[in-house]
Amino acid sequence: MQKWLDIAKINALTSFDTFKISKNTLDSIKDMGFTEASEIQGLAIPPLLQGKDIIGQAQTGTGKTAAFAIPAIEKIDPESDKTQVLILCPTRELVVQVEGEIRKLIKYHKEIHSLAIYGGQDISIQLKALKRGANVVVGTPGRIIDHIKRGTLKLKDITYLVFDEADQMLDMGFREDMETILIETPKNRQTVMFSATMNKVLVNLMKEYQKNPVHINTVGEQKQSQQINQIYFHINRNTKLEAVKRLIAFHKITSGLIFCNTKIMVDDLAKTLTDARYSTACLHGDIDQKKRDRVMKEFRAGNIDFLVATDVAARGLDINDLEAVINYDIPRFDQDYTHRIGRTGRGGKVGLALTLVVDREIDHIERIARKNNMTIAAGKIPETHDLESNSMESLKVLVQNANVKRKDLDKYLSLLNELELFEYKDNEIAAILLKTLMEQTSQTFKNVDFEPSSRSNKSSGGGAGYRSSGSSSSSSGSAKPRGRNRSDFKHKAKTSSGRPKKYGFDKSASR
C-alpha cells in the first residue's frame, strides 16, 4: 500500500550535516554553496537513503536533482565500474543539466564516474565512454533504448533507477520506452519518480513497477500562488504583439521566456521582436544542438533578454533569475501551463506569469485554473498613459540615483552655453533635457483596441463569454471579465465576506 508523507506533520531536516552521507559528498555540497536542504531534499533524502521507493511531486528549480542524486551517489559501489545508477530525463537539455549537477556532487569521489547520453551527440563519443565505464548514466529514453539494443549499455547491475519529470516523458510519448527500461532493470532495484503533475497513467505505471512508494508532495496552491503572480489578459487576437510589448515595458521585464505553440510562430515572433530592437533568440525542435547550447549560454549570461520557445524545446530548461514567463499562446495541454510558469519564481523570489487569452480561449484558462487549483487573475493591458507614468517614475529614480560630481559637469555646462537657450529659465532647460531623455529612452506604442472580438463575448454551447472591462483611469484598476462569472479564476479561495477576490494590475504585480 502506498505511503503518504504529510508535510504538515514533518519538520524537514534543514542541515545536510544531519543526513547520513559521506564526508566527500558533504564537502562537494559545501563547495556548491549549500548548507541547508530545501523542502524536497529534506523530505526525500532520508527515505531514499533507507532504500525506499518514492514518488516525488516537486516543481523544477526546487532542488530535486540533489534530492535524488545525493542518495544515488551514497549507494554506489566504487570498487565496481559497472553502471549502477540510471537517470532518465525527457530532454537533452535536462540530461546535460542533471549530469552537470552530479559531476559537482562527485567532485571528491574520484572513483565514481558519470556520463550523459542523448540524441544529437556523436554516438562514438558515448560508446567510448561507456566502454571505459560509467557508474552513473543520465540519458533520454530514446538514446538509452538505442544503447540497450546495441548491447553497449548493460542494465543488470542497476540498483537505483530515476525518472525525472516523468509526466513530461509520458506527454512526449516515451511510455513504451519507460516500461522497457523498467522491465530490463533488476526487480530488486530502488525506483524513484519525480513529477510536477500526477495523472492516472503515471500512477498506474508506478503502482505496477514500484514497491510501496512513499509519496512526497511539495506542490500546493498556496505555495504556488505566493511564488508567482499569475495574470491573464483577454484580448483580440490581432493585438497580441502590441500587448506583449506593453507588458514587457510596464513590468520592466529584462529576462523573460515567451511561449508559442508552433515552431513557425516562434520564428515569426522572435524575428518581429528582434526587428523591434528587443534582444531575442528562439528555441525549437528544428534548431541543432550546437546552436541550442550557444543560445542557452548567452541567455543565462544575460546577453539575450528574451527567449521565444515551444513547449518541447523548453522542457528541462533550468534558468536562474528568470523574471517572467509570457504565454503568447495559451498551452494546448493544461499540464503544460504548470511546467511553463514553474520556470519563474524560484529560489524564494516572486515570479510573474502573463498569459494572453484570445477570443473563446477564456474557457481554456478557466479550466487550467480549476484543474491546477490555482489563482489566475484578470488583468488589463496597460493604456498609453499608464506606460508614460511608468516611464516617468523610472526616469525620476534614474535621476535621483545618479552619482554625478560637480567637477564632472564642466563639459556639459560648456555645451549648454553653446546651445544659447537664454530665453528659458533654468528649470525649463532641465525639463527640456528630461523630456528629450524620456523620448530617447522610452518606447512609443500604437493606439490599439484590445477588446476581444464580439463573437467571443457570446455564450455558445456552454462556452463562457468574457471580455475585459472598458478603459481604466489607473493601471491598478480591476479588470472584471463580463459574462456568467465576474470573478477571477481562483479555485476555492474566497475573501472573508465569502465573495471571490477581484484582481487587476496593482503595484505588487508591477516590475
Pair 213, 339 in one domain: no
Residue at which a domain ends, from 219, 241, 266: 219
Sheet of 54-57: strand order equals 3-4, 214-217, 54-57, 190-195, 160-164, 85-88, 136-139, 114-117
pLDDT tens digits, 113-168:
999 999 888 889 999 999 999 999 999 999 999 999 999 999 999 999 999 989 88
Claim: this prediction has a pTM higher than 0.95: no
Q: Is 101 helix (H, G, I), strand (E, B) or coil?
A: helix
Domain of residue 299 covers 222-384+447-509
Pair 10, 87 in one domain: yes
The confidence score (pLDDT) of residue 487 equals: 43
Determine contact, residues 254/324, Cβ cutoff 8 Å: no
Domain count of the fold of the chain: 3
Pair 469, 323 in one domain: yes
pLDDT-derived band of residue 198, with 50, 70 and 90 as boundaries?
A: confident
pLDDT tens digits, 266-281:
999 999 999 988 999 9
Pair 255, 140 in one domain: no
Pair 137, 279 in one domain: no
The confidence score (pLDDT) of residue 453 equals: 73
pLDDT-derived band of residue 223, with 50, 70 and 90 as boundaries?
A: low
Average pLDDT of every residue of the chain: 81
For β-strands 375-378 and 489-490, DSSP reports them as antiparallel
Residue at which a domain ends, from 186, 219, 252: 219
Pair 240, 355 in one domain: yes
Residue 108, pLDDT above cutoff 90: yes
User: CA-CA distance, 339 to 57, in Å (whole number)?
Assistant: 12
pLDDT tens digits, 333-344:
887 888 888 888
The confidence score (pLDDT) of residue 492 equals: 43
What's the whole-number mean pLDDT along residues 36-60? 90
CATH number at residue 464: 3.40.50.300
What's the gap between Cα 340 and its chain centre?
A: 5
User: CA-CA distance, 194 to 217, in Å (whole number)?
Assistant: 10
Residue at which a domain ends, from 441, 462, 489: 441
Pair 468, 434 in one domain: no
In the DSSP assignment, the letter for residue 112 is: -
Pair 260, 378 in one domain: yes
Pair 122, 46 in one domain: yes
Pair 62, 168 in one domain: yes
Pair 335, 455 in one domain: yes
In the DSSP assignment, the letter for residue 474 is: S
Pair 143, 188 in one domain: yes
Q: Which of 53-62, 214-223, 246-255, 406-415 has the lowest mean pLDDT?
A: 214-223
Between 482 and 423, where is the model more confident? 423
Residue 225, pLDDT above cutoff 50: no
**Highest-confidence range of 100-114, 162-176, 187-201, 206-220, by mean pLDDT?**
100-114
